[in-house]
Amino acid sequence: MRKRVIASTAAVLGLMLAVPASAGSAGPGAAGIGDPYYPTYGNGGYDVSHYDLALDYRPETDRLSGTATVSATATQSLTSFDLDFALDVSAVRVDGRPAAFTTSGEQELVVTPARTVPRGHRMTVTVTYSGVPSTVERYGFTSWQRTPDGGVAANEPESAWWWFPSNDHPLDKATFDVRVRVPAGEQAVSNGLLVSSHTARGTTDYHWRQDRPQATYLATLAVGHFDITHSRTRTGVPVTNAYSTGLAPALAANARAGVERTAEIIDFLSGYFGPYPFDAAGGYVPNVPSHFAIETQTRVFYSPAVFAKDPDTSVVAHELAHQWWGDDVSLARWSDIWLNEGFAGYAEWLWAEHEHTGTPQQLARQVYDAHPADDPFWTVEPGDPGAQNQFDDAVYDRGAVAIQALRTTVGDRAFLALLKAWPAQHRYGNGTIAQFQHLAEKLSGRDLGDFFRTWLYTPAKPPVLPAP
């Protein structure tokens, strides 16, 4: 994500005590996956492998309805389990049998199957639902933006609740089929490859498929009128971009001038991070009033506002870097957000160097010098910023300076090897800052304990910016 301007609502969360069932005995799955920042996000007791969504969306009323089929394996014997969801549910089945359900807290859908689900069992959960997502608020906001011609789901970390039930945490990644019926003449845009689109009797059915593991917050859906463009990266990855036809002409021109460089920027970043991890790429610019961009997997969400002044390619480089740093290798817990935003910010500096607008060392020096030691900027620890500061400037800017300081400390050879080794080692999985530090130490042959403490875990300005 880059620069969420809306204030994040304070998530006032009761302490959820996750009590896992002891071996052999059946019990309820935990209401949260165990994230220290967001105790109720995600759930315990099962692991999802696939979401198949069959949806119908009506732009004129903003009504979304459909059925989600969730394929999951029980990791404990389950008498009940939770999904995270905010729309109205009319029916739930587990392995074809009607299941009881109720809601709890802000976004818990509690499902009680007719029979206990044994540990290790592969279950199929179908949830039938509907709602007007732009009117549904959780923690005081909705992540569904209604547009003049449709609607869009994109936000971080909360986005899925407004359009499909899920185990909503990056620890549980899954593949996706997204099928959406819309009025003929409208388009539906989602992640991955377009499998088919079929128009009959006044409606069009779109079917998108994401066949690589994807975190739930990286799933996106947009319905509206779009101009679609196609290109390919150097290695042949198809790039599909979509631009709302409702954008003002100057804005649309800027957006295209930036986003149409997607293939070129992926080629550039592949030189640093290794092969592009997915079989599709692209971005879309819907007609929304928000100001942020987010790295929705293989199809980046860009608010038109990010292109208000010029064809900003640094935001494109930022979001595309996330395809490696965040999407391919995802957080294991939200407190490790530096692994996403620090590196996406650093990628902007690599791209700036390519575009001759500054070297990473010059740009790091600018940030370091711009904030005197008594600036509150330095009180946010990028390695553990707190849920309230998860998207604070310090995570991005101090986070990127830390990466340049790491480069200077370990030398180019180890640093450049590290940028490729991390995605290669954790492909389609998760990683922690501790694991990253371990890999950096292994590749550089240095103890980096003091370095990481100074740059990521101290609420004060590091006394020196290392010079090459």
Residues that bind Zn ion (CB under 5 A): 1-2, 341, 344
Distance between CA atoms of residues 245 and 352, nearest Å:
30
CB of 104 to Zn ion, least distance (A): 32
Closest contact distance (angstroms) between CB of 66 and Zn ion is: 30
Identify which of residues 155 and 187 has a Cβ nearer to Zn ion in the complex. 155
Smallest gap from residue 7 Cβ to Zn ion (A): 17
Whether 241 contacts 260, CB under 8 Å: yes
Q: Which is nearer to Zn ion, 1 or 320 (CB)?
A: 1
344 versus 456: smaller Cβ distance to Zn ion: 344
Question: ∠ CA 315-318-321 to the nearest 5 degrees?
Answer: 150
Q: What is the DSSP pairing of strand 238-244 with strand 221-224?
A: unpaired
Smallest gap from Cβ 103 to Zn ion, in A, equals 32
Q: Which CB atom, from 344 or from 402, has the smaller least distance to Zn ion?
A: 344
* The two structure tokens encoding residue 457: 């875990």
Smallest gap from Cβ 318 to Zn ion, in A, equals 6
CA count, 13 A, side-chain hemisphere, 147 = 26
Nearer to Zn ion, 2 or 173 (CB): 2
Cβ closer to Zn ion: 153 or 395?
395
Lookup result for tokens 């599709």: 280
Q: Give the integer Cα–Cα distance in Å for 301 and 466.
A: 36
Q: Which is nearer to Zn ion, 110 or 320 (CB)?
A: 320
Compute the least distance from the CB of residue 294 to Zn ion, in Å: 7
Helix/strand/coil (H, E, C) string of the chain? CECCCCCCCCCCCCCCCCCCCCCCCCEECCCCCCCCCCCCCCCCCEEEEEEEEEEEEECCCCEEEEEEEEEEEECCCEEEEEEECCCEEEEEEECCEECEEEEECCCEEEEECCCCECCCCEEEEEEEEEECHHHCCECCECCEEEECCEEEECCCCCCHHHCCCECCCCCCCEEEEEEEEEECCCEEECCCEEEEEEEECCEEEEEEEEEEEECHHHCCEEEECEEEEEEECCCCCEEEEEEECCCCHHHHHHHHHHHCCHHHHHHHHHHHHCCCCCCCECEEECCCCCCCEECCCCCEEECHHHHCCCCCHHHHHHHHHCCCECCCEEECCHHHCHHHHHHHHHHHHHHHHHCCCCCHHHHHHHHHHHCCCCCHHHHCCCCCCCHHHCCCHHHHHHHHHHHHHHHHHHCHHHHHHHHHHHHHHCCCCEECHHHHHHHHHHHHCCCCHHHHHHHHCCCCCCCCCCCC
- Cβ distance to Zn ion smaller for residue 72 or 300: 300
Q: Which is nearer to Zn ion, 51 or 338 (CB)?
A: 338
Nearest approach, Cβ of residue 324 and Zn ion (Å): 12
Q: Which is nearer to Zn ion, 224 or 345 (CB)?
A: 345
Q: How far is Cα 374 from Cα 97, in angstroms, rounded to an integer?
A: 62
Q: Find the Cα–Cα–Cα–Cα dihedral 415, 418, 419, 421, rounded to 10°.
A: 160
Least separation, in Å, of the C-beta of 12 and Zn ion? 26
Nearer to Zn ion, 179 or 322 (CB): 322
Partnered with residue 98 across adjacent β-strands are: 93
Q: What is the smallest separation between the CB atom of 170 and Zn ion, expressed in angstroms?
A: 14
What minimum distance in Å lies between the beta carbon of 340 and Zn ion?
Answer: 6
Q: How far is the CB of 383 from Zn ion (least distance, A)?
A: 16
Choose between 42 and 399: whose C-beta lies nearer to Zn ion: 399
CB of 72 to Zn ion, least distance (A): 29
